[in-house]
């Protein structure tokens, strides 16, 4: 028995050390994400639809507001944060409580992604690569935008090791909860069905069924909303795709590079990406990442009209989030796979340019809005106008006007 215990001890210690290293790297990713949106931590504010739609819907309808779509689709994760924040802190402490809950959800998704058996190399470094996307951090820390991270968890299901049978109940739960939180589940459900048809395993079928169920409900909600998507012209599509590929290498120098520079950078970057497909042993997973990059870029182009208005810093940075994450993961995979100095040249060079772009747009600032003053006014007068941030400036902020409506508070014009 003594010998058995002595021989088991060395195997237990390395396992705990590995877990500790994994959690430390995931925590570093979360800390970097927080460092890129410090204003929301030190001066928590309420943003756009979170204040104009989600808060008043819960105040007026209670838990039934979970069934009300936002801009045409369900975002259950964001609604759950608001529901809990109102229950725990009320309107007075809502900004800080909701921000804290949003960070907890992001941390949970980071932990899930950093420990999942994905086909992509990187493991616990994958959340850090997410936190270092070379764009403005519109979707970071703000509770409303946690549904983007829910979408990222759905993409993770598509990158799962096909033969891995672990965490099946959790994967099904992710497919349902995150599927009810981001409409990206609609096209991804087709990918899940394809994976299940190829793998022919029960766990993949279970995940695919959950994805299809969530997608069906999202489609049922979307069908009642006038569509805003449209197919862009070929010229616009080519220009915007060049921006998706070229901007990560150029934003470290200027946020408004000339079109010629963008096209040249995009061409060079595309060549490097094609070279990454040469090694046969890594081709499948890199093709998957390139496919997800293309998928993310195309869905963004269909969503924003005209797509040429999108910019990773100035206009709709959220539309660059998924594509830039997959580019970061692809180059991280290449860097970790390189076993010679020559093989490391391109990944290191691209990583330096991407990190320079990230550094130039590392933090987002906003001006203070007096949410607590509105809470005080509401308690004194029974009605008040709550300030909501739109783009971080006081001049262009929105307002939420609340007044009594029976025994509830209601949004008023």
Q: Residue 58 in contact with residue 123, Cβ under 8 Å?
A: no
Please enumerate, as own/partner, the contacts of 193-196 that have beta carbons within 8 Å and a separation of 24 or more.
195/158, 195/162
Q: At a CB cut-off of 8 Å and minimum separation 6, what does 187 contact?
A: 295, 299
Banded model confidence at residue 12, pLDDT cuts 50, 70, 90: low
Residue listed under structure tokens 């877990």: 19
d(C-alpha 59, C-alpha 49), whole Å: 14
Q: 63 burial class (0-12, 13-18, 19+ CB within 10 angstroms)?
A: exposed
Going from the C-alpha of 99 to that of each of 45, 105, 130, 245, the distances in angstroms are: 8, 10, 19, 32
Domain regions of the chain by residue span: 19-222, 234-326+336-347
What is the percent of the chain where pLDDT is above 70? 95
Banded model confidence at residue 5, pLDDT cuts 50, 70, 90: very low
pLDDT, mean of residues 195-218: 96
| Amino acid 226: pLDDT | 60
Q: Quick count: other Cβ atoms within 10 Å of Cβ 239?
A: 17
Residue from 81, 71, 63 nearest 221 by CA? 71
d(C-alpha 246, C-alpha 316), whole Å: 17
Residue from 202, 224, 186 nearest 71 by CA? 224
Mean pLDDT, rounded, of the chain? 93
pLDDT, mean of residues 255-261: 96
The yes-or-no verdict on residue 6 having pLDDT over 60 is: no
pLDDT, mean of residues 240-256: 97
- For 47-70, write each residue's pLDDT tens digit: 999 999 999 999 999 999 999 999
Q: Token pair of 80, please? A: 């759950």
Residue from 162, 113, 8 nearest 325 by CA? 113
* Cis peptide bond N-terminal to 306, omega within 30: yes
DSSP string of 55-98?
HHHHHHHGGGGGGS-BTTB--HHHHHHHHHHHHHHTTTTHHHHH
Banded model confidence at residue 18, pLDDT cuts 50, 70, 90: confident
The yes-or-no verdict on residue 213 having pLDDT over 90 is: yes
- For 325-375, write each residue's pLDDT tens digit: 999 999 999 999 998 888 899 999 999 999 999 999 999 999 999 999 999
How far, rounded to the nearest angstrom, does the alpha carbon of residue 368 sit from its chain's CA centroid? 25
| Amino acid 224: pLDDT | 65
Stated pTM of the model: 0.93
Residue from 390, 359, 371, 395 nearest 138 by CA? 390
**Quick one: which H or E segment has residue 269?**
helix 259-275
| Amino acid 19: pLDDT | 86
Lowest mean pLDDT, pick from 2-16, 76-90, 147-161, 372-386: 2-16
Residue listed under structure tokens 């007026």: 60
d(C-alpha 358, C-alpha 349), whole Å: 14
> Which one is predicted more confidently, 302 or 29?
29
The yes-or-no verdict on residue 9 having pLDDT over 80 is: no
Say how many Å lie between the first and final Cα of the chain, rounded. Answer: 76
The yes-or-no verdict on residue 3 having pLDDT over 50 is: no
């Amino acid at each position: 028995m003594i010998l058995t215990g002595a021989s088991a001890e060395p195997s237990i210690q390395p396992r705990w050390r590995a877990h500790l290293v994994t959690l430390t790297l995931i925590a570093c990713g979360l800390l970097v994400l927080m460092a890129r949106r410090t204003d929301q931590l030190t001066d928590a504010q309420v943003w756009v639809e979170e204040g104009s739609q989600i808060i008043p819907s819960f105040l007026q309808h209670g838990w039934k507001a979970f069934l009300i779509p936002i801009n045409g689709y369900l975002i259950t994760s964001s609604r759950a944060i608001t529901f809990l924040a109102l229950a725990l802190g009320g309107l007075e402490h809502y900004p800080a409580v909701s921000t804290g809950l949003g960070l907890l959800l992001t941390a949970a998704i980071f932990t899930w992604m950093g420990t999942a058996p994905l086909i992509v190399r990187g493991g616990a470094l994958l959340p850090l690569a997410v936190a270092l996307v070379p764009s403005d951090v519109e979707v970071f820390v703000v509770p409303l935008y946690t549904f983007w991270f829910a979408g990222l968890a759905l993409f993770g299901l598509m990158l799962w090791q096909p033969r891995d049978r672990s965490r099946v109940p959790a994967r099904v739960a992710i497919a349902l909860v995150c599927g009810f939180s981001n409409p990206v589940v609609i096209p991804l459900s087709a990918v899940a069905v394809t994976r299940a048809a190829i793998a022919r395993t029960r766990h993949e079928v279970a995940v695919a069924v959950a994805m299809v169920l969530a997608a069906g409900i999202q489609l049922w909600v979307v069908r009642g909303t006038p569509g805003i998507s449209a197919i862009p012209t070929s010229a616009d599509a080519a220009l915007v795709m060049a921006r998706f590929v070229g901007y990560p290498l150029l934003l470290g120098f200027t946020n408004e590079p000339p079109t010629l520079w963008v096209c040249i950078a995009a061409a060079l970057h595309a060549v490097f990406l094609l070279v990454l497909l040469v090694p046969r042993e890594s081709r499948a997973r890199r093709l998957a990442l390139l496919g997800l990059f293309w998928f993310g870029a195309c869905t963004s182009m269909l969503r924003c009209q005209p797509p040429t208005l999108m910019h990773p810093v100035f206009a709709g940075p959220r539309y660059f989030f998924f594509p830039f994450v997959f580019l970061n993961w692809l180059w991280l995979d290449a860097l970790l796979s390189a076993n010679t100095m020559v093989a490391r040249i391109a990944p290191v060079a691209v990583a330096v340019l991407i990190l320079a772009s990230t550094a130039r747009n590392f933090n987002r600032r906003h001006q203070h809005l007096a949410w607590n003053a509105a809470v005080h006014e509401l308690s004194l007068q029974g009605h008040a106008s709550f300030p909501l941030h739109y783009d971080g400036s006081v001049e262009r902020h929105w307002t939420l006007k609340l007044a009594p409506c029976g025994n509830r508070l209601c949004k008023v014009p």
